[in-house]
Amino acid sequence: MRIYMQIPAIEEKPSRYYQLLLLEDLLDGWTLIREWGQQGRSGRVKQDHFENRETAENALLRVRDSQLKRGFKVVFMQGQDQPL
């Protein structure tokens, strides 16, 4: 599952992005990868491991909702089984 969010450029502030990736790993767990930063520059990356998909999806939704409150807009979503 992938969610890409963005805050557009305003005056002299460059646009910012926040990307969430949810991947199944080889050890029967799930990894939530978060990447964020300014458009066109190297961003920061953080990875969190979860024992099951449900817990990982709940974490993804909490992060998504938190970023939406900060002004990010969802630009792209891929790989979801049902609407989030």
Full pLDDT tens readout for the chain, 84 residues: 999 999 988 888 889 999 999 999 888 899 999 999 998 888 999 999 999 999 999 999 999 999 999 999 999 999 865 455
pLDDT given for residue 16 in this prediction:
96
pLDDT given for residue 81 in this prediction:
58
Angle, vertex CA 26, rays to CA 22 and CA 30, nearest 5: 30
Q: Which CATH class is domain 2-78?
A: mainly beta
Contacts of 9 (CB under 8 A, 6+ apart): 15, 39
pLDDT given for residue 64 in this prediction:
97
DSSP state letters, 34-78: EEEEETTS--EEEEEEESSHHHHHHHHHHHHHHHHHTT-EEEEEE
Could you identify the residue written with the tokens 């992005």? 17
State the sign of the Cα–Cα–Cα–Cα dihedral 63, 69, 73, 74. Answer: positive
pLDDT given for residue 30 in this prediction:
97
